[in-house]
Amino acid sequence: MAKLSKLTTHVIQALGFVALVTVTVLAFPRYNTSFRYHVELGKPWGYEKVTAEFDFPIYKTPAQLELDRRTLLADFAPCFVRDTAVQDTMMVASLADIEYLEQGEYQWIAILDGRQSTRYPAHRVLSPKQAYELRGEEVSPTILLDTAQTNFMLAQLDASIAPTQGIVQEGQKIIDRGEIVTDEKYQILTSLERACAENDAITAHQRTLSTTGRVIMICLYLALFVLYLIVFRRKYLESLSTVLFFLLLSAIVIVLSCALLQYTDLSIYLIPFAWVPVITRVFYDARTALFLHVVTTLIVSLIVPAPVEFFFLQIAAGMVAVSSLSDMTRRSQLAQTAGWILLTYAVAYTAYTFASTGEYTTINPYMYLYFAINAAMIIAAYGLIFLFEKTFRLLSSITLVELTDINSDLLHRLAEEAPGTFQHSMQVSNLASEAAKAIRANALLVRTGALYHDIGKLANPGCFIENQHAGHNPLLECDPKEAVRIIISHVTEGEALARKHHLPEMVIHFITTHHGTSLVRYFFNSYVNAHPGEEVNRLEFQYPGPKPTTKEAAILMMADAVEARSRSLKEFSEEEIYEMVDTMIDTQIADGQFSETPLSFKDVEDIREVFKLRLMAINHHRIAYPKLNKLCRV
């Protein structure tokens, strides 16, 4: 895939931000412009004081309406007429009519006779079977249900039930900030919402201004995030996949929140907002994870019922998430983080409720269940981490740990077919990871890159000196240019082998850059000495590059050169090792191999010091054991 230009990258990123704003505005719950609240029973009112701006009735709840209907039905009598074709005084009804009476639990019936009706207890109505048992003979139904008249009377009964109870007058206080939404206040607030919906006073101008205000607020929060990236993490803005990752992760949480508030009556705390800091922290730094979490929480707080409580709880949970998840190298760390988040939610909610209401009775015990479900969904984020890693070609610490397993197919093959190269790679990984720790680079990443940086030597393991035996070097029998071609090919061969085994791009970067554009000096010098006066093309003896672009790749280049050169030392004295390390690194600096990396002078000095101390420790002298005198008796 061709690399996109900087302009194209920024255009796509801008379109991504526009898409996020559009999706967010469209997903926001469609609250009435006059009633922009989300009412939640048993929770403190998180909005400003609400006063009735007009008279409106208090609508009965469905439960109250059903109770009123049942009360009226207790005295209702379905209408029956006598079958004139059957001359019998007994009240016998068909099985279907008997079932109708039983299902409705009616206590009375009314038998119509012209314009008059006579009420009878329903238990006096017999089924044909009961009539047969009394008479000893079959009796046809003597009364028939008048379905039309009964339904007409039921409709009149339903119409007689008053849908409201009481009225709230203009100027009357309904609820104030911090008050608990009791059953009574909940009923009044939902009545106000219904009244606002029925009051067709919302103009197109109001709707336009409302939508415009939302767009401006969302754009403001996202602009703050972009400003943060420009000031503190500019390199993230240079990566299209990184910005799209941030936008998609935030969009998932925002859309889930909007859907829950608009289509369900469930608590907003069922949404795992900690997904944002947890997943971001796995791939990026803690500051960015927390900042993205704050922006996402601010956007959602525009629509939640108690924004102050919501923001307080979510920020506390986000801070705990990024603090407890430094580098996720084990799956169990995710469970531990979820446990800390659960504890934080519980403590923060309890404290906020006490502070805002002063009553322990206002605590909603179901909230702790919501927090537990939320924590369980944090653990389930492991699957999302895997999806994001594959979709955006990211690299998590868990994957790096898995790649460093020396029993993996590729490393096991390296140990079997090129044991010298494998041992060299192990030593380089130890040197490089220690140097990375000294300058606060990613030690796990550089360790992984070091293990795989020379896998291209598997194509011709016997051509590299660390794998040769009895002093036979086939490259010395070749033309210098051919020998150089074989040596340089281990970079391209390594890249091809890495892609075949689907190694991450960040690991492949170590393979292609660990020699940069340096010369294969042994054969270059040999060729120049053998062809005096000839103009030599340096490119024929030079690695194709590219040069390292990260601190980790630069550390590996230094460690690789230093470790290889240390094997040619005749004496492992402090002076020899110190001089060798300085010479190798100074040569690479003079060649401009680190010109594209963010290494500082202090970083280079710290790396030198680590290499010197580690090489001295590796190559320390041991005490010679005295031989046993044969004349001594043991």
Classified as helix, coil or strand, 116 is strand
Residue 605 confidence (pLDDT): 95
pLDDT exceeds 70 at position 609 = yes
Backbone conformation region of residue 105, classed left if phi is above 0, alpha if psi is from -120 to 50, else beta: left
- For residues 452 and 581, membership in a common domain is answered with yes
**94 C-beta neighbours (distance < 10 Å), count:** 15
| Model confidence pLDDT, tens digit, residues 415-433 | 999 999 999 999 999 999 9
Between 150-164, 200-214, 595-609, the lowest mean confidence (pLDDT) is in 200-214
When pLDDT is averaged across residues 187-206 and rounded to a whole number, the result is 74
Contact yes or no for 569/612 (Cβ under 8 A): no
430 vs 476, more confident: 430
pLDDT exceeds 60 at position 311 = yes
pLDDT exceeds 70 at position 467 = yes
Residue 354 confidence (pLDDT): 87
Distance set, CA 67 to CA 154, 158, 347 (Å): 15, 12, 40
- Residue whose C-alpha is closest to residue 519's, from 496, 537, 501: 537
Among residues of the chain, what percentage have pLDDT more than 90? 51
pLDDT exceeds 80 at position 527 = yes
Indicate the angle between helix axes 381-391 and 275-283, nearest 10 degrees.
50
38 vs 118, more confident: 118
> Does 375 reside within a domain?
yes
- For residues 233 and 337, membership in a common domain is answered with yes
Residue 42 confidence (pLDDT): 75
pLDDT exceeds 90 at position 393 = no
Say which amino acid occupies 353.
T
Q: Which of 364, 391, 418 is the last residue of a domain?
A: 391
* CA–CA dist 528, 481 (Å, integer): 11
* CA–CA dist 446, 554 (Å, integer): 10
| Model confidence pLDDT, tens digit, residues 208-234 | 787 888 899 999 999 999 999 999 999
- For residues 356 and 417, membership in a common domain is answered with no
- For residues 470 and 609, membership in a common domain is answered with yes
Q: Which residues contact 207 (CB under 8 A, 6 or more apart)?
A: 33
pLDDT exceeds 90 at position 28 = no
* CA–CA dist 368, 269 (Å, integer): 10
Among residues of the chain, what percentage have pLDDT more than 70? 94
Residue 634 confidence (pLDDT): 52
- For residues 416 and 520, membership in a common domain is answered with yes
- For residues 123 and 259, membership in a common domain is answered with no
The alpha carbon of 484 is separated from its chain's Cα centroid by a whole number of angstroms, namely 48
| Model confidence pLDDT, tens digit, residues 264-287 | 888 899 999 999 999 999 888 899
The long-range contacts involving 166-169, CB below 8 angstroms and separated by at least 24 positions, are 166/57, 166/58, 167/55, 167/56, 167/57, 167/58, 168/52, 168/55, 168/56, 168/57, 168/58, 168/192, 169/52, 169/55
Residue 625 confidence (pLDDT): 58
pLDDT exceeds 80 at position 35 = no
Torsion of CA 196, 201, 205, 208, to 10 degrees: 20
> Does 37 reside within a domain?
no
- For residues 368 and 300, membership in a common domain is answered with yes
Residue 1 confidence (pLDDT): 41
* CA–CA dist 265, 364 (Å, integer): 15
Residue 628 confidence (pLDDT): 61
Confidence of residue 194 (pLDDT cuts 50, 70, 90): confident
398 vs 310, more confident: 310
> Does 589 reside within a domain?
yes
- For residues 251 and 355, membership in a common domain is answered with yes
CATH number of the domain that residue 510 is part of: 1.10.3210
> Does 358 reside within a domain?
yes
Written as six digits, the tokens of 310 are 């919501």
- For residues 436 and 565, membership in a common domain is answered with yes
The one-character DSSP state at 630 is: T
Average pLDDT of the residues of the chain: 88
Confidence of residue 114 (pLDDT cuts 50, 70, 90): confident
The one-character DSSP state at 163 is: S
* CA–CA dist 43, 37 (Å, integer): 13
Classified as helix, coil or strand, 166 is strand
First to last CA, the chain: 75
- For residues 383 and 415, membership in a common domain is answered with no
Q: Which of 391, 422, 453 is the last residue of a domain?
A: 391
- For residues 386 and 411, membership in a common domain is answered with no
> Does 200 reside within a domain?
no
Distance set, CA 102 to CA 108, 112, 229, 233, 542 (Å): 11, 20, 72, 74, 98
Number of domains in the chain: 3
* Strand arrangement of the beta sheet that strand 116-121 belongs to: 116-121, 108-113, 79-82, 143-145
When pLDDT is averaged across residues 234-263 and rounded to a whole number, the result is 92
| Model confidence pLDDT, tens digit, residues 556-594 | 999 999 999 988 887 778 888 999 999 999 999 999 999
> Does 627 reside within a domain?
no
Confidence of residue 304 (pLDDT cuts 50, 70, 90): confident
> Does 53 reside within a domain?
no
Q: Which of 124, 145, 160 is the last residue of a domain?
A: 160
| Model confidence pLDDT, tens digit, residues 490-517 | 999 999 999 999 899 899 999 999 999 9
**81 C-beta neighbours (distance < 10 Å), count:** 15
> Does 48 reside within a domain?
no
CA torsion sign for 538, 539, 542, 548 is positive
Task: List the helix and strand counts (H, then E) for the chain.
Answer: 25, 8
- For residues 539 and 506, membership in a common domain is answered with yes
The radius of gyration computed from the CA coordinates of the chain, to the nearest angstrom, equals 40
Return the exposure string of 284-314: e unless at least 16 CB atoms fall within 10 Å of the residue's CB, then b.
Answer: bebebbbbbbbbbbbbbbebbbbbbbbbbbb
Indicate the angle between helix axes 409-417 and 419-438, nearest 10 degrees.
120
Domain with 551 in it: 406-618
